[in-house]
Amino acid sequence: MMLALRCIMAYACYMHTETLRAKLLDHEIVQRLMNNPNWKPAAVAAVAFLVDGKRCPVPSWRRSSTWAQVQMVYDELSQNEKGSK
């Protein structure tokens, strides 16, 4: 029983993460960043950091306007998620 509950919780967490990732990647601001070859690497790194907690490969990207825009969208979506619960 406990194992089944842990599996359900892990799956729910995974689905929430994937839904958040999909919403983030579908947002018009993030899409614009992803479509520019100069901004895409930092945008991809920001999404990986914010959604998966992965380390940023280039520390200066965390101070870039690209990162700030992805962070802004993430914060907006996260706030909407909290408000809808």
Q: What 3 state SS string does the chain have?
A: CHHHHHHHHHHHHHHHHHHHHHHHHHCHHHHHHHCCCCCHHHHHHHHHHHHHCCCCCCHHHHHCHHHHHHHHHHHHHHHHHHHHC
Question: Where in the sequence is the domain holding 49, given as residue range(s)?
Answer: 19-84
Whether residue 2 has pLDDT greater than 90: no
- Tell me the pLDDT tens digit for each residue of 27-84: 999 999 999 999 999 999 999 999 999 999 999 999 999 999 999 999 999 887 666 5
Give a yes or no: residue 64 inside a domain.
Answer: yes
What is the pTM assigned to this prediction?
0.77
End-to-end CA distance of the chain: 27
How many domains are there within the chain? 1
Give a yes or no: residue 6 inside a domain.
Answer: no
Give a yes or no: residue 4 inside a domain.
Answer: no
Give a yes or no: residue 53 inside a domain.
Answer: yes
